[in-house]
């Protein structure tokens, strides 16, 4: 389910027009990666923005302010480390991303609490699937018990 489709489309529209910023002379030398590095030379044509030379990174290429910080799902990305951080989030517009220092036990607790609150966890991984399977098994077990009593 994607929310904020209009904002994501506006961001994509601008990002499609944005040039691919490449490191100067990365096309010339194999040892230079294409990853962006600012040109700093005194006579550097790229730094001086001579016509016919690739564009440099400038503030004007930035995306729309309202769509900055949005996850591709449309939710705002919020870093959390414990269950108390979950309480501050709005399930309609916020999604949670657990910090990488959070351990397995606390991750399981966070995922359980988030599902009960209806908050999307972006990096739940296999924990979300495991919780669903556990709930399904629990329901099956309860159904079997009720059938045995009847």
Q: Do the beta carbons of residue 111 and residue 96 sit within 8 Å?
A: no
Give pLDDT tens digits for 75-102: 999 999 999 999 999 999 999 999 999 9
* pLDDT score at 2: 85
Adjacent-strand bridge partners of 95 = 77, 120
25: left (phi over 0), alpha (psi -120 to 50) or beta: left
Residue 113 and residue 97 in contact, taking contact as beta carbons nearer than 8 Å: no
Q: Is 136 helix (H, G, I), strand (E, B) or coil?
A: helix
User: Is residue 150 scored above 70 in pLDDT?
Assistant: no
User: What would the pLDDT profile of 12-31 be if each residue is shown by its tens digit?
Assistant: 999 999 999 999 999 999 99
pTM given for the model: 0.69
CA distance 88 to 32: 45
Residue 147: pLDDT band (50, 70, 90) is confident
Q: Which of 115, 132, 126, 123 is nearest to 81 (CA)?
A: 123
Evaluate whether 79 touches 97 at the Cβ level (below 8 Å).
Answer: yes
Cα–Cα distance for residue pair 111/14, rounded to 1 Å? 35
């Amino acid at each position: 389910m994607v929310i904020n489709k209009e904002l994501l489309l506006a961001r994509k529209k601008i990002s499609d027009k944005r040039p691919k910023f490449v490191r100067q002379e990365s096309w010339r030398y194999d040892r230079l990666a294409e990853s962006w590095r600012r040109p700093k030379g005194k006579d550097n044509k790229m730094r001086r923005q001579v016509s016919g030379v690739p564009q440099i990174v400038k503030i004007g290429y930035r995306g729309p302010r309202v769509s900055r910080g949005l996850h591709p799902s449309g939710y705002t990305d919020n870093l959390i480390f414990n269950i108390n951080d979950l309480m501050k989030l709005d399930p309609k517009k916020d999604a949670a991303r657990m910090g990488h220092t959070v351990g397995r036990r606390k991750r399981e607790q966070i995922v359980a609490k988030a599902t009960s609150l209806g908050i999307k966890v972006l990096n739940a991984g296999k924990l979300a699937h495991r919780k669903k399977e556990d709930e399904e098994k629990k329901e099956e077990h309860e159904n079997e018990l009720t059938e045995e009593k009847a």
